[in-house]
Amino acid sequence: MIGSLLVPAEEGRYFLLPDDVSYFDALPEPTSEHHVGRFGLAIHPDVVTVTCIGDGVDVEVDLQVVALDAAPGSEGELMGGWDVRVDATWIVVRPGVVASGSFDRQGILFDSPGRYHLALFGRLRPHEGAASDRAREEHQLLIWPAGSARS
């Protein structure tokens, strides 16, 4: 596991992007989109937009990032306890990071460029006891080299 992050998702989204990208005035058109309702991944050149489940403007996302060497073994067991799942492939030519909706760095995803499979799981969290008025969600992002198989 790479780790746990509390990611501010301004306008209901946050980003996965190369480490040297600091801001986009306008995001390029996505080359592919993978959504279940609002929740999902939009793959753009050099950046991935992650859209939250809820329609709140500002969302706090408890994000678990797990790096794997190969595709996970049992697909059925992965879905346990999660409301939604989306999958995509991202080709990145520089190290990748997680960034908030305002492009503030939150954590490193991987050090090596390459072609990665992304499996994103999500669920809403109860709002009681939250430290702020933001909506809360839990996301888990599994990352592994695309084309790799469990041996």
Tens of pLDDT, residues 3-19:
688 888 888 889 998 88
Residue 108 sits in a domain whose CATH number is: 2.60.34
Q: Please give the full DSSP string across 17-60, using - where no structure is assigned.
A: EETT----SSPPPPSEEEEETTEEEEEETTEEEEEPSS--SEEE
Range of the domain at 81: 3-145
Q: Is residue 27 part of a domain?
A: yes
Rg of the chain, C-alpha, whole Å: 15
pTM of the prediction?
0.83
Total number of domains in the chain: 1
- Which residue ranges in the chain fall short of pLDDT 70? 1-3, 25, 56-57, 74-79, 126-134, 148-151
Q: Is residue 137 part of a domain?
A: yes
